[in-house]
Amino acid sequence: MNTNNPNLAGVIEIKDVHQLPTGFKAKYMAWAKVASIFNEKCPGWTHHTKMNEQDGTPLFDAPDGSMYFIFYFKDPEGNKFSDFIYPIMGNNKKALKKDFIDAREISDTQRRGFVAHCAFQFSLGYELWAKEEIEDNEPHLKVVKQEKPVLHNAYRTENIPKPEPIKKNQYSSEELVSMIMNELNVKMKDDEQKRLWVLSKANQYKLQGEGSKLQQMTVLQLRSCLQELENGKF
């Protein structure tokens, strides 16, 4: 069996990485770009989705009722590599139960799973998963590092504790509204069901204004709504 596995670590550049504008601001790499690199750097390799022999679909049941894919690669000689399991997840990165899965979730997960599998098999884009810095391969002017002045005893800079970075522990109203809408689109397929749920929350909070009810809610109320949707309590 050919074990010459292509190593694609360090191939991606800063320009290949994107960030979601709202919601969970995770960095990601477009699946089409990953496919382009895979086709260029791994000639003869193919990516496959395992089919469930019981129902003929590509979905498999987890013990808790959520669903997952099983992917595998074949090398140019036709040798099959080990299975790679990838769950179908919503925007909150939690595995979805079967009743909440539609064709869009299936197609999106297949593409995301391909990207993750390339990182697992070939180290392509591993920096995003390991949260390591990605090298910028563009030329830059040379920066001359300036020497720090040497101070005496108590005034030495190494004795001064560095402040902890400020961490964002809550989202803005706009971000929370966007996250709630994403959850509603995942959890509820009927637009009327979504509308009635939002109205029920507006009545609960005694909102009387015109226009979007979500836009009228406070950050605390929006966070409560989001938590309720994420926990499936609706």
Question: CA–CA separation, 86 vs 83, rounded Å?
Answer: 10
Which helix (H) or strand (E) segment holds residue 106: the answer is helix 103-122
Concatenating the DSSP letter of every residue in 118-163 gives HHHHH-TTHHHHHTPPPP--S--PPPPPPPPPP--GGG-GGGSPPP
Residue 130 pLDDT grade (very low, low, confident, very high; cuts 50, 70, 90):
low
Mark whether 109 and 215 lie in a shared domain.
no
Q: What is the pLDDT of residue 75?
A: 94
Question: CA–CA separation, 203 vs 105, rounded Å?
Answer: 31
The residue out of 130, 157, 181 marking a domain boundary is: 130
Q: What is the pLDDT of residue 231?
A: 81
Q: Is residue 148 part of a domain?
A: no
The predicted-structure confidence for 24-58, as pLDDT tens digits, reads as follows: 445 557 888 889 889 999 999 999 999 999 999 99
Look at residue 215 and tell me whether its pLDDT is greater than 80. Answer: yes
Instruction: Over range 11-28, report the average pLDDT.
Output: 56
Average pLDDT, the chain: 77
Question: CA–CA separation, 166 vs 175, rounded Å?
Answer: 19
Chain-centroid distance, C-alpha 71: 18
Whole-Å CA distances, 216 to 55, 60, 176, 179: 46, 41, 12, 15
Q: How many domains does the chain have?
A: 2
Q: Is residue 49 part of a domain?
A: yes
Mark whether 191 and 97 lie in a shared domain.
no
Look at residue 125 and tell me whether its pLDDT is greater than 60. Answer: yes
Q: Which domain holds residue 224?
A: 173-230
The predicted-structure confidence for 64-105, as pLDDT tens digits, reads as follows: 999 999 999 999 999 999 999 999 988 777 899 988 898 988
Q: Is residue 158 part of a domain?
A: no
Q: In 10 A of CB 101, how many CB atoms?
A: 17
Q: What is the pLDDT of residue 93?
A: 78
The residue out of 77, 96, 130 marking a domain boundary is: 130
Mark whether 185 and 121 lie in a shared domain.
no
Q: Is residue 145 part of a domain?
A: no
Residue 138 pLDDT grade (very low, low, confident, very high; cuts 50, 70, 90):
very low
Mark whether 200 and 118 lie in a shared domain.
no
Residue 135 pLDDT grade (very low, low, confident, very high; cuts 50, 70, 90):
very low
User: pTM for the complete prediction?
Assistant: 0.52
Q: Is residue 7 part of a domain?
A: no
- Contact 73/117 with Cβ under 8 angstroms? yes
